[in-house]
Amino acid sequence: QVQLVESGGGVVQPGRSLRLSCVASGFTFSRFGMHWVRQAPGKGLEWVAIVWYDGNNKYYGDSVKGRFTISRDNSKNTLFLQMNSLRAEDTALYYCARAGDGYIDYWGQGTLVTVSS
């Protein structure tokens, strides 16, 4: 069965960096695009970024463009999100999710990022 396990969350000061990871299993990772989606406490879902199956195409939401970088290592079935210049408004539960053709078909359980001084 498809499993997505995120890690790397924690408490970080504004302006600092953090790197999230997501290890995938139960499917051929290198054949699927992958998303990061976040959810601030008590708020709705916000799409963050997508990387295509081969890592050659990446797209970002306006609120993170230029600060966050999505990447993947297909040899290790792992998805990454490098988050720089973090702000208080980046505080959220970050979900790793598998891309279908225009939809998201599997989600991890999320890793919590708290940006606070």
Partner 1 sequence: QSALTQPASVSGSPGQSITISCTGTSSDVGGYNYVSWYQQHPGKAPKLIIYDVSNRPSGVSNRFSGSKSGNTASLTISGLQAEDEADYYCSSYTSRSTVVFGGGTKLTVL
| Binding residues for partner 1 (CB under 8 A) | 35, 37, 44-47, 50, 57, 59-62, 95, 100-110
Q: Which is nearer to partner 1, 58 or 77 (CB)?
A: 58
Q: Which is nearer to partner 1, 18 or 50 (CB)?
A: 50
What's the sign of the alpha-carbon dihedral 75, 76, 77, 78?
Answer: negative
Q: Which is nearer to partner 1, 13 or 101 (CB)?
A: 101
Minimum Å distance from CB 16 to partner 1? 26
Q: What are the start-end ranges of the E strands in 1-117?
A: 3-7, 10-12, 18-25, 34-39, 45-51, 58-60, 68-73, 78-83, 92-99, 104-107, 111-115
